[in-house]
Structure 1
Amino acid sequence: MAGGGRGRPIGVVLLALGPVLAVAYAGVNHVAIRMAVEAQIAGPRWVGGLIDADGMTSLGVDAWRLTWWTTLFVGLVALAYLVIGALLRRRSRGRTALLVLSGVLVIPYALGFLVALINPVKTLAALYHTRDFTDGLPGWQPATALILLAAALVQAAGLPLTAAEGRRATEAGERGAS
């Protein structure tokens, strides 16, 4: 049954993928930033500078912080969708307000994706004028923004499935009470 009816809550699984994909975005960007830091340090233009205990240059630290904040922002929105989905599965009032809230949350989700699409890691490298860091970024790093798009899309697919499952449960409960 689409929507999972018999013990297979596919909507909830899709909603849970949102936060997981947000963490995946952070993870792959961390790997990319590490690769770029290694290239920056090994590059011919490296004149020495501060390297923290984790082996990150100041640009690497700043790029990671911006990526981390973007991930936190999108991750919180993704968690909000997961909570909304859990509440929609229950037989209760307020379903319309939850659905409206989920529509409003599309805006911060899109904003987080836009920030990722602008590619803050590469933008920061340009501001720092560090060609070695930019050259060290792997070719796949700009595509990591698509992970956040995938997170939004799977949650957009999971929410109506979860809402429909909750609506069916509510209708069944009303029929049983009559």
Structure 2
Amino acid sequence: MAGSGRPVGLVLLALGPVLAAAYAGAGHLAIRAAVRAQTAGPAWEGGRIDESGLTSLGVDTWRLTWWTAMVVGAVAVAYLAFGVLLLRERRGRTLILVVSGVLIVPYALGFGVALFNPVELLAGLYDSPDFLAGLPAWQPYTAWLLLAGGLAQAVGMVVAAAYGRRAAPKPPDVAEVNGQS
């Protein structure tokens, strides 16, 4: 089992950006399904549809989903980079850990926004029951992908920090430096 910390830590750290992308992809699929239901519903009055096939509500909800995924994804990539730096036998580990502690704020805010489910909120604001009815039942649970990515990266940071600390050269003992045993 010796030496298994490095690959495990890297895999856990890589899950953050992957799950942020999965959140965006699942959100896009859900929004497309809701737009199809909206345009096929009885309340549809023939509003504007853009070149990508989304209604105004679809565009707005996709933008919110996309920006949430982008913010969380950017932070997740930063955590991946920090984890790689922690694996190295260099100084500056304290600064990396402090900055990574600060970066948890945008990660948590992104999860909070996703958990608040802006897709449903905007559909209610636009008063579009057909859009709401077209959302897949699994759509509200996509926010948990961001939480899973954050938790995996937190464990990955701990594994990377522990592995890097073990790999770092030990400072000489004071008794050895003074010639005493």
Q: Do the structures match in fold with TM over 0.5?
A: yes
Match of residue 33 from structure 1: 31
Match of residue 61 from structure 1: 59
CA contact (8 A) 1:29 1:67 kept: yes
RMSD over aligned Cα, in angstroms?
Answer: 1.6
Q: What TM-score, normalized to structure 1? A: 0.93
Residue 115 of structure 1, aligned match among 109, 113, 125 = 113
Q: What TM-score, normalized to structure 2? A: 0.91
Residue 140 of structure 2, aligned match among 139, 142, 145 = 142
Match of residue 87 from structure 1: 85
Q: CA deviation at 1:171?
A: 2.8
Match of residue 70 from structure 2: 72
Once the two structures are superposed, residues 10-55 of structure 1 have per-residue CA deviations (whole angstroms, 9 ceiling, x without a partner) of: 0011001100000000000100000000000000000001111111
Q: CA deviation at 1:107?
A: 1.1
Deviates more, 1:39-48 or 1:103-112: 103-112
Once the two structures are superposed, residues 73-106 of structure 1 have per-residue CA deviations (whole angstroms, 9 ceiling, x without a partner) of: 0001101100110111111111011111111111
Task: Give the alignment of 1:127-138 within 5 angstroms.
Answer: 127-138=125-136
Q: CA deviation at 1:2?
A: 7.0
Q: Distance in 2 between matches of 1:54 and 1:3?
A: 48
Q: Distance in 2 between matches of 1:85 and 1:97?
A: 12
Paired residue type of 1:70: T
Residue 153 of structure 1, aligned match among 151, 154, 168 = 151
Paired residue type of 2:79: Y
CA contact (8 A) 1:15 1:158 kept: yes
Against the structure 1 CA distance between its residues 109 and 43, is the aligned structure 2 distance closer, same or farther, given a 3 Å change threshold? same
Moved over 2 A (4+): none
Q: Distance in 1 between matches of 2:61 and 2:53?
A: 14
Q: CA deviation at 1:169?
A: 1.1
How many pairs were matched up?
A: 173
Q: Distance in 2 between matches of 1:107 and 1:63?
A: 23
Q: Distance in 1 between matches of 2:24 and 2:105?
A: 21
Unaligned runs of 5+ in 1: none
Q: Distance in 1 between matches of 2:115 and 2:44?
A: 28
* Percent identical: 64
Q: Distance in 2 between matches of 1:33 and 1:48?
A: 18
Residue 162 of structure 1, aligned match among 155, 160, 166 = 160
SS in 2 for 1:56: coil
Against the structure 1 CA distance between its residues 28 and 3, is the aligned structure 2 distance closer, same or farther, given a 3 Å change threshold? farther
